[in-house]
Structure 1
Amino acid sequence: MHVVAIIPARYGSTRLPGKPLKIIGDKPMIWWVHKRLKNIQRVDDVFVATDDARIKDICDDYGIKNVMTKSTHQTAANRLQEVSNTVKADFYLQINGDEPLIDTGAIQAAIPESVPQDIEFGTNIITKIHNPALALDPSNIKVTFDNEMNALYMSRTPIPYPFKSINFDYYKHVGIIGYNKKMLDFYANSVPGRFEKIEGIDTMRFIDYGKKLKFICVENCESLSVDTEQDLEEVRKLILKTGN
């Protein structure tokens, strides 16, 4: 099975413009993300998908494979779908470009042993919430699933509601998602469904339309995404301390 990891990278960011090119140590952030992905055995190739010539030029300077995509894409999945039209694979992994400390074990877990090609199919890494405050934070997307780990619902509010029992755990979405080509094509050729429009969660589209999205649970899967200058300084300190 041929697996390709794709890092969507935009220059524009409301809180931290030029985020992929911010220097950590002596390398740009996009280099650190790419380096971690290249160390995963089951990932056969890694590409950066960008719409900005500045990011492309840096990728070229460091020998990072990249694909220029349209500037009109509203979501990472749309950008991946465009790349999938020229980069052929059995499975595509979407990896955020602002997580230079991303958990490589979680990325590995997102790759199933086999991927059906006759139906729309995807995987989504989730992790247990240990801090109750995180269950209340709308930026943490909570998830529910059936006994076979098929996705049932995703919400910014805590689900399920503890009406008759408190003997359960909350789980949250982690931004590591995998797709086969049919799933990406479906996404690109569909419109937001009812609950996607309400919750503002683009991955909800697969659930809205009854597509097969499999949750995969990874314990203690925490990562620091760089959204602010403060996040950037924290990551710089961690990488300086560990050397990786």
Structure 2
Amino acid sequence: MEVIGVIPARYSSTRFEGKVLADILGKPMLQHVWERAKQARLLDEVIIACDHEAVADAARKFGAKVVMTSKGHASGTDRLAEVVNPLDVKIVVNIQGDEPLIHPTMIDSVARALLDNSSIAMATVMKKIDDLKLINDPNVVKVVVDKNNFALYFSRAAIPYLAVNSDIKQPAYFKHIGLYGYTKDFLFIYKNLPASNLENIEKLEQLRVIEEGFKIKVIETKFDTIGVDTPEELERVKEFLKKEKI
């Protein structure tokens, strides 16, 4: 295998217990994520990594390959590494289990960036923000990139800041979408990096990569997502899916 997708799917959640099994139009949320991941053309395999039998049972019922992992992982990255460690694979795509609107082309774009350029070790996705109210929402992570689309910084604040005397009336703002691709080698480097100062300030794990001097390639997508952290966001996803299909 060259490229695999892994969906870390924890049952416990501070704000929404068991959310990966929440019903969305007759299917558990996790199934929506898995079905979309299976449509990605560049993934040789899709694995659901879970730590709870209820999640594993549900995933097996809809036909997914399941790997049970430790309950003690501090992050999805650690869970990912446990799954990938014994596998002969070059590239790993980390697909969030609470992103039921993830588009297959996002997954392929991340995988393609890593396949086409061996100097890229980590890649992710951004979407231009159309709703200006989201710019100051700390739950919407913003990203700024250099001219080659490598991340300069991720923040919960509005970046770039628009100065009062700026000649630019309305800069473009980009939302970070939490889909990541890594080479297998870099995944284990990343896993072992210590938590960084900026990471602890913003509570954004990917900042440790930048603070340690590594680069993250960022691919722009035209598709948006709604991450589900609350029952209210679940309802937004349901309304969206009633109107649109992939």
TM-score (norm 2): 0.89
Aligned pair partner of 1:199 in 195, 199, 202 = 202
Does the C-alpha gap of structure 1 residues 161 and 183 become closer, same or farther in structure 2, counting only changes over 3 Å?
Answer: same
CA contact (8 A) 2:120 2:217 kept: no
Corresponding position: 1:228 with 2:222 = no
Q: CA deviation at 1:7?
A: 0.7
- Rounded Cα–Cα distance in structure 2 between residues aligned with 1:209 and 1:10: 28
Cα distance in 2 for partners of 1:34, 1:112 equals: 19
**Residue of structure 2 in register with 1:148 after alignment:** 148
C-alpha distance in 2 between matches for 1:239 and 1:152: 34
Partner of residue 162, structure 2: 162
Deviation at 1:235, TM superposition (A): 3.1
**Aligned 1:167-206 pairs, distance under 5 A:** 168-206=171-209
Gaps of 5+ in 2: none
Output aligned runs, 1:56-205, within 5 Å. 56-113=56-113, 114=115, 121-163=121-163, 164-166=166-168, 168-205=171-208
- Which residue matches 1:26? 26
In structure 1, C-alpha distance between the alignment counterparts of 2:47 and 2:168, rounded to whole Å:
44
- Rate the CA distance shift 1:124–1:6 in 2: closer, same or farther, 3 A: same
Kept in 2: contact 1:138–1:157 (CA 8 A) = yes
| Runs of 4 or more above 4 Å deviation | 240-244
Indicate which of 213, 218, 223 corresponds to 2:221: 218
Q: CA RMSD in A?
A: 2.1
- Number of residue-to-residue matches in the alignment: 242
2:3 is aligned with 1:6:
no
The CA deviation string for residues 49-96 of structure 1, in whole angstroms up to 9 with x for no partner, is 111121112222222111111112222112111111023321111111
In 2, Cα distance between equivalents of 1:111 and 1:10: 24
The Cα shift of 1:238 comes to 4.2
Amino acid at match of 1:218: T
The separation in 1 between residues aligned to 2:152 and 2:244, in whole angstroms, is 39
TM-score, L = length of structure 1: 0.90
Q: Is the 8 A contact 2:69 2:83 kept in 1?
A: yes
